[in-house]
């Protein structure tokens, strides 16, 4: 059915094809074809107009004989000039498949370009720098499909998993056109990659012994594959080269010649029907059917997308205006890590920070994520992975060192040199310290550049913003990070920090420990050799999913050659010496930080704010790390006058005032050295923080705090005939056991410390343990109590 063509502004989807057979297949997918009673410019014969579902579609053909990336780029450039409402393009046609053990690609299958590993869905494999032996280092990056298309692709995959595909329905349109039917395509032969075509236009003369045996598949079954499409300026016709390039790129599904021309400047998705295997056995018999399957898959994809979602997406012409602000991605200053996938956390960042596909009412909002967590928990490594994975989506990515205000200013000045020439004053682009140039001017020019309306798809990562600007009177390195975030309603900002106070700046993602499977993977990457899980489990449980601790332990064991049992023993018994040795060889991937250095900064900041909070953290190291409820301190202080005097003076009255106690805990939480337990008001410390807090104490501190800990536990034990005895007993037991474990490494019972309070507390700990059936430990407590009582 034909009807009069709407105005150019009514078309929102561009369908681009290189060959006449491809554009013919595309036209067959139109639900309605639009007449063209009046020309619009000299290139009108390049276009076919129509409707698919609720979408007005313009099908663009490349000029005859002008295939390749450059021709495709020229066509889409004209498209945006003639059709100002185009939101995205679909590059649809044929391609050469890359069969592998991972992907069972057959002739007639369809490949959809989709982000995979570090690639956006399309990679220009023949663009880059040629090094020794002809090795190409590929440079530059191509954009991933816009979010509206990625969402539709996800739904398409879901439908196919549920056997709800409409692909056969769309393919049935070609039943009346014999040229496009599967039966006309012939046999599907796959030969060994190193075996070249014998002669002739068919494979009749090729050696059947060199064919690869594959499982049977239904003759009409079409499978859609999702992953990387390799785009170049020449046809790939060699199996060996095909497989080599695929391996270099981490696994390619298809080779073709036009996609990179679109993806470098235009929001698009690439869909290819497989007509050959990109080897010397290539022939044209499968091209019509492959063009038909690609067109049918494209229609199925388009029908998933609601027209209102397309309307909410930025016009492609507006998007391509931002290309002049594109800055090549650089890893300078970014820690080179051995990242282990944290898929849920990466997805959480993607949901907020990705710039494409937002409603126009929201599309101009700045997107800010505060990645918050304990030092060493993996915030920087996760941010590095996000930046690498999505570098093609952003026109520029700037990695800024937020550890101090001076470091941040210098990072911004270094980044200014990468801004395209002519977009900021040359003096700011070429700034270097020691000149008469003003670094604040460079920063102002850089922030102004980021604030420009057309320059809206950038990503800034402020890493290690751990200085609390509220302490700027005592900390000269502290600053207000909001002064350095562009005052613009666009762009994406990622801040990594231990400071809970920064959560008000945007969406917050609290990063916790990794699971055991991820912990093993991190350890393996740094250990550089296989290991038995039975040997490693105890150590991995002690490190409790803390990435920096895992990397530090694995690197140390790899370098020294010590066993898991030895390291575990040293960790328990000589932690301070072990950490001192590891401090001499910090991990470059973690910015030369170690556990000692990364937490000392936070601890010193806490002590400067509130000595009671710092002291509570040290005291906690003599108790169980999992939870320290307020009632334990309160009950102990109420029952022991001597303890009350010690505690109330030392903790500045927090033991008898729950509001003040929670304020102290909140300060520890704000630096991520203490965290809330899910579903409760209780708090815990990470086991490695717990260990660290014990070993930073000198001998006097350890003795004094151990004495306080035993008094707290012993005097918190309620009367055993009360109803509260058993539930409170369950909470006290872990603290008693933790204190006993520490006891062997502290000097508690000096003459100056012996008194009736200590004896009573030790006795009550014995009662506590005895009632839980732990008679051996109870006997030790009774013995200590008796010895101390006799001394008094």
DSSP conformation letters of 511-539: -----HHHHHHHHHHHH-S---HHHHHHH
Q: Are 113 and 259 in contact (CB under 8 A)?
A: yes
Q: Give me the percent of the chain exceeding a pLDDT of 70.
A: 82
User: Can you give the pLDDT at residue 222?
Assistant: 92
Identify which has the larger pLDDT, 301 or 782: 301
**Domain match, 450 and 538 both:** no
User: Can you give the pLDDT at residue 694?
Assistant: 87
Q: What angle do CA 207, 213, 217 make, to 5 degrees?
A: 125
pLDDT tens for residues 250-285? 899 999 988 776 776 678 899 999 999 988 888 789
**Domain match, 711 and 657 both:** yes
Residue 372's CB is within 10 A of a number of other CB atoms, namely 22
pLDDT tens for residues 748-784? 444 444 467 788 888 888 888 787 777 777 788 778 7
Identify which has the larger pLDDT, 55 or 630: 55
Q: Above 90 in pLDDT, residue 169? A: yes
Beta carbons within 8 Å of 248's beta carbon, 6+ residues apart: none
**Domain match, 220 and 311 both:** yes
Range of the domain at 523: 516-590
User: Can you give the pLDDT at residue 644?
Assistant: 61
Identify which has the larger pLDDT, 290 or 732: 290
Q: Which of 123, 128, 280 is nearest to 192 (CA)?
A: 280
Quote the DSSP letter at residue 213. P
Sequential DSSP letters for 649-685: HHTTTGGG-HHHHHHHHHHHHHTTSSEEPTTSS-EE-
Q: What angle do CA 242, 116, 149 make, to 5 degrees?
A: 115
Q: Are 184 and 310 in contact (CB under 8 A)?
A: no
Q: How many CA atoms lie within 13 A of 283 on its CB side?
A: 16
Last residue of a domain, one of 486, 510, 534: 510
**Is 0.75 topped by the overall pTM?**
no
CA distances from 203 to 98, 184, 196, 488 (A): 18, 16, 10, 61
**Domain match, 130 and 278 both:** yes
d(CA 397, CA 388): 9
**Domain match, 576 and 676 both:** no
**Domain match, 540 and 571 both:** yes
Q: Are 693 and 685 in contact (CB under 8 A)?
A: yes
Q: Which of 473, 88, 389 is nearest to 263 (CA)?
A: 88
Beta carbons within 8 Å of 453's beta carbon, 6+ residues apart: 490
d(CA 90, CA 88): 7
Average pLDDT along the chain: 81
**Domain match, 549 and 630 both:** no
User: Can you give the pLDDT at residue 484?
Assistant: 95
User: Can you give the pLDDT at residue 364?
Assistant: 53
- Indicate the number of domains in the chain: 4
pLDDT tens for residues 6-16? 888 889 999 99
Helices 405-416, 439-450: crossing angle, 10 deg rounding: 60
CA distances from 563 to 519, 523, 524, 549 (A): 18, 14, 14, 16
**Domain match, 99 and 242 both:** yes
pLDDT tens for residues 203-214? 777 888 888 888
The verdict on residue 600 lying in a domain is: no
d(CA 497, CA 371): 6
How far is residue 134 CA from its own chain's centroid? 33
User: Can you give the pLDDT at residue 358?
Assistant: 39
d(CA 454, CA 441): 22
Q: Are 225 and 270 in contact (CB under 8 A)?
A: no
Residue 181 sits in a domain whose CATH number is 3.40.50.1580
User: Can you give the pLDDT at residue 305?
Assistant: 94
User: For the residues 162-176, what does the mean pLDDT come to?
Assistant: 94
Q: Are 641 and 665 in contact (CB under 8 A)?
A: no
The verdict on residue 331 lying in a domain is: no
The verdict on residue 335 lying in a domain is: no
**Range with the poorest average pLDDT among 286-300, 447-461, 470-484, 637-651:** 637-651
The verdict on residue 77 lying in a domain is: yes
The verdict on residue 733 lying in a domain is: yes
CA distances from 518 to 372, 509, 544 (A): 19, 19, 11
User: Can you give the pLDDT at residue 140?
Assistant: 45
User: Can you give the pLDDT at residue 134?
Assistant: 53
Residue 39's CB is within 10 A of a number of other CB atoms, namely 9
d(CA 171, CA 173): 5
User: Collapsing DSSP states into helix, strand and coil, what is residue 139?
Assistant: coil
**Domain match, 505 and 522 both:** no
Last residue of a domain, one of 321, 355, 381: 321
**Domain match, 212 and 63 both:** yes
User: Can you give the pLDDT at residue 767?
Assistant: 82
The verdict on residue 262 lying in a domain is: yes
d(CA 206, CA 191): 9
d(CA 528, CA 514): 20
Identify which has the larger pLDDT, 53 or 743: 53
Identify which has the larger pLDDT, 374 or 479: 479
The verdict on residue 338 lying in a domain is: no
**Domain match, 552 and 640 both:** no
The verdict on residue 261 lying in a domain is: yes
d(CA 574, CA 599): 19
d(CA 419, CA 445): 11
Q: Where does 31-90 have alpha helices with state H? A: 69-82
pLDDT tens for residues 414-462? 899 899 888 888 888 888 655 556 889 999 999 999 999 888 889 999 9
Q: Are 632 and 643 in contact (CB under 8 A)?
A: no
- Residue 588: phi and psi, rounded to 5, are -65, -30
Q: Are 363 and 493 in contact (CB under 8 A)?
A: no
Q: Above 80 in pLDDT, residue 787? A: no
Confidence band, pLDDT 50/70/90 cuts, at residue 95? very high
Q: What angle do CA 63, 67, 69 make, to 5 degrees?
A: 115
CA distances from 742 to 566, 650, 695, 710 (A): 19, 21, 11, 11
Pick from 91-95, 240-244, 581-585 the range whose average pLDDT is largest: 91-95
Last residue of a domain, one of 510, 527, 545: 510
**Domain match, 427 and 522 both:** no
Q: Which of 642, 678, 379 is nearest to 502 (CA)?
A: 379
């Amino acid at each position: 059915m034909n009807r009069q063509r709407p105005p150019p502004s009514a078309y929102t989807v561009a369908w681009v094809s290189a060959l006449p057979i491809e554009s013919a297949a595309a036209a067959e997918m139109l639900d309605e074809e639009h007449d063209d009673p009046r020309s619009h410019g000299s290139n009108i014969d390049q276009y076919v107009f129509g409707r698919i579902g609720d979408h007005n579609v313009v099908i663009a053909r490349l000029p005859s004989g002008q295939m390749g990336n450059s021709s495709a780029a020229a066509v889409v450039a004209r498209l945006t000039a003639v059709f100002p409402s185009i939101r995205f393009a679909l590059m649809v046609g044929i391609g050469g498949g890359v069969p592998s053990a991972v992907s069972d690609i057959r002739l007639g299958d369809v490949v959809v370009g989709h982000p995979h590993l570090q690639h956006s869905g399309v990679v220009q494999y023949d663009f880059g720098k040629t090094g020794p032996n002809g090795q190409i280092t590929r440079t530059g990056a191509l954009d991933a499909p816009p979010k509206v298309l990625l969402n539709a692709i996800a739904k398409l995959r879901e439908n196919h998993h549920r056997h709800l595909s409409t692909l056969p329905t769309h393919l049935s349109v070609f039943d009346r056109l014999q040229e496009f039917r599967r039966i006309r395509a012939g046999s599907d032969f796959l030969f060994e990659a190193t075996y070249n075509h014998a002669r002739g236009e068919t494979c009749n003369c090729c050696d059947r012994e060199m064919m690869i045996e594959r499982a049977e598949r239904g003759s009409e079954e079409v499978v859609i594959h999702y992953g990387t499409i390799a785009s170049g300026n020449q046809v790939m016709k060699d199996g060996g080269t095909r497989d080599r390039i695929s391996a270099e790129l981490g696994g390619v599904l298809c080779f073709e010649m036009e996609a990179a021309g679109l993806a470098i400047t235009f929001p698009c998705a690439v869909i290819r029907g497989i007509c050959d295997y990109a080897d010397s056995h290539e022939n044209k018999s499968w091209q019509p059917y492959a063009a038909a399957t690609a067109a049918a898959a494209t229609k199925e994809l388009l029908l998933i997308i609601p027209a209102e979602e397309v309307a909410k997406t930025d016009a492609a012409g507006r998007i391509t205006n931002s290309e002049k602000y594109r800055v090549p991605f650089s890893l300078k200053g970014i820690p080179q890590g051995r990242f282990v996938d944290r898929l849920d956390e990466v997805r959480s960042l993607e949901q907020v920070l990705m710039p494409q596909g937002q409603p126009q009412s929201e599309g101009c909002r700045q997107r800010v994520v505060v990645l918050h967590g304990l030092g060493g928990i993996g915030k920087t490594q996760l941010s590095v992975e996000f930046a690498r994975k999505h570098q093609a989506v952003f026109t520029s990515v700037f990695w800024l060192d937020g550890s101090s205000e001076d470091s941040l200013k210098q990072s911004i000045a270094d980044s200014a040199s990468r801004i395209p020439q002519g977009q900021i004053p040359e003096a700011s682009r070429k700034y270097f310290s020691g000149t008469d140039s003003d670094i604040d001017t460079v920063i102002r020019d850089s922030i102004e550049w980021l604030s420009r309306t057309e320059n809206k798809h950038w990503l800034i990562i402020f890493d290690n913003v751990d200085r609390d600007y509220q302490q700027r009177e005592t900390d000269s390195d502290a600053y207000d990070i909001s002064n350095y975030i562009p005052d613009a309603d666009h762009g994406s900002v990622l801040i990594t920090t231990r400071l809970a106070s920064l959560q008000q700046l945007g969406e917050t993602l609290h990063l916790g420990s990794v699971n055991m499977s991820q912990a093993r993977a991190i350890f393996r990457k740094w250990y550089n050799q296989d290991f038995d899980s039975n040997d490693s489990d105890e150590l991995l449980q002690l490190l409790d999913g803390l990435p920096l601790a895992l990397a530090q332990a694995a690197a140390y064991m790899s370098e020294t050659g010590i066993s898991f049992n030895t390291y575990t023993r040293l960790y328990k018994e000589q932690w301070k010496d072990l950490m001192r040795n590891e401090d001499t060889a910090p991990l470059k991937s973690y910015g030369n930080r170690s556990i000692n250095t990364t937490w000392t900064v936070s601890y010193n900041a806490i002590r400067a704010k509130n000595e009671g909070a710092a002291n509570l953290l040290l005291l906690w190291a003599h108790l169980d790390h999992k939870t320290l409820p307020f009632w334990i301190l309160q009950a102990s202080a109420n029952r022991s006058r001597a303890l009350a005097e010690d505690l109330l003076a030392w903790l500045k009255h927090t033991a008898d005032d729950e509001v003040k106690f929670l304020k102290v805990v909140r300060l520890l939480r704000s630096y991520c050295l203490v965290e809330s337990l899910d579903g409760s008001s209780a708090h815990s410390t990470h086991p490695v923080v717990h260990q660290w807090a014990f070993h930073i104490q000198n001998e006097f501190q350890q003795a004094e705090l151990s004495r306080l800990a035993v008094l707290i536990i012993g005097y918190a034990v309620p009367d055993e005939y009360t109803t509260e005895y058993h539930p409170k007993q369950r909470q006290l037991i872990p603290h008693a056991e933790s204190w006993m474990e520490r006891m062997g490494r502290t000097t508690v019972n000096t003459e100056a410390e012996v008194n009736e309070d200590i004896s009573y507390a030790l006795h009550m700990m014995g009662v506590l343990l005895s009632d839980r059936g732990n008679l051996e430990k109870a006997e030790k407590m009774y013995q200590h109590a008796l010895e101390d009582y006799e001394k008094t």
